Structure 1
Amino acid sequence: MPPPAELGRNPGKAAATLDVTRHALLFMAALLLLLFVVASVGLVQIALQQNTRATQQSLFYVDKAIQTREKSMLATLRDYAYWGEAYQNLHVTVDYEWAYIRQNLGPSLFEDFAYEGVFVLDPQGRTAYAVVNGQRVAVSLAQWLKQDVAELLEQARGQTEDEEPVVGFVQVDGQPALLAVTGLTTGGDPQVSALAGPPSLLLFVDLLSPEKLQALGEDFGVTNLRLATDPVDAQATPALTLASVGAQPLLLRWEPAQPGRQLLYWILPLLALGGTIFALITWLTLRRAIASAREVDASYASLYASQQALAASEVRFRDVAEAATDWIWEADAELRLTYLSTRFQALTGHAASAWLGHPLGELMQCPGGLDVWLETCSSRATVSHSRQCHYRACDGELRTCHLSLRRIADGQAAGGYRGTVSDITEELQAQARIEHLLLHDALTGLPNRHRMQEFLEAKLKALPSAAKPLVMLSIDLDRFKPVNDSFGHEVGDQVLAEVSQRLRLALHEGDLVARMGNDEFILIVSGISAAEEVEQLCVGLIGAIEQPFEIDNHRIFLGASIGVAMAPTDTRQADELLRFAEIALYQAKGAGRSAWCFYANDMNERVIERRQLENDLRHALANEELSLVLQPRYSVNGLRMMAAEALVRWQHPQRGLLGPDSFIAIAESTGLIIPLSAWVLRAACREALSWSEALIVSVNLSPVEFRGGQLVAQIRSALEETGLPPGRLELELTENVMLEDAEGALVLMQELKGLGVRLSMDDFGTGYSSLSYLRAFPFDGLKIDRSFMTDLHAADDSKAIIQAIIGLGHALSLTVTAEGVETQEQLELLRQYGCDEAQGYLLNRPMPPEELRLLL
Structure 2
Amino acid sequence: MNAVDAANASRYSRHTRVLVLAFVLPILACVLIIGGAVLGIPTASEPANGLSAQTTATQSASVERDLGENSGRPVISLDDAGAGLPVQASPPGGEPWWSMSLPTLAALLLAVLIFSGALLRKTLRSLRDIDQDHARLQHEYAALRCSDERLRALADASSDWIWETDAFLRVSYLSSSFTTATGLARDVWLGQPVELLLQCETLPAGQWLQQLGVGSSGVGHLRCSYRDSIGQTRHSRIVACPIVRDGQIAGYRGTVLDITDQVGAQAQLAHRSTHDAVTGLGDEHALTRFLDQTLADRLRPVPLTLLLLDLAGFEALGGTLGEPARDCILRTVASRLRDSTRSNDLVTRLRDGQFMIVLASIDEMTEIGHFCQRLIDNLQRPIVHGVKQLQVGVNIGVVHDHPSRGDAREWIGCAQIALREAQAEGPGHWQPFAPALDRQNCLWQLETDLRSALQHEQLLLHFQPRYSADGARVVAVEALLRWQHPVEGLLAADVFLPLAERSDLIVAIERWLLREACAAARHWPQSIAVSVSLAPAHFSRGDAPRAVRDALTDSRLPANRLQVQVAEQVMLGCADGAMTALTALNEAGVGLILDEFGSGYCSLGYLRIYPFDAVKIDPRFVAGLASSPQDRGLVRGIIDLGRAMGVRVIGAGVDTEQQLLSLQDDRCAEVQGLYLGEPMERAALAPLLQQQTDVRRSRQGHQAGLHAR
Larger Rg: 2
TM over 0.5: no
Q: TM-score range with shorter-chain normalisation? A: 0.3 to 0.5
Question: TM-score, normalised to structure 2's length?
Answer: 0.40
Question: TM-score, normalised to structure 1's length?
Answer: 0.34
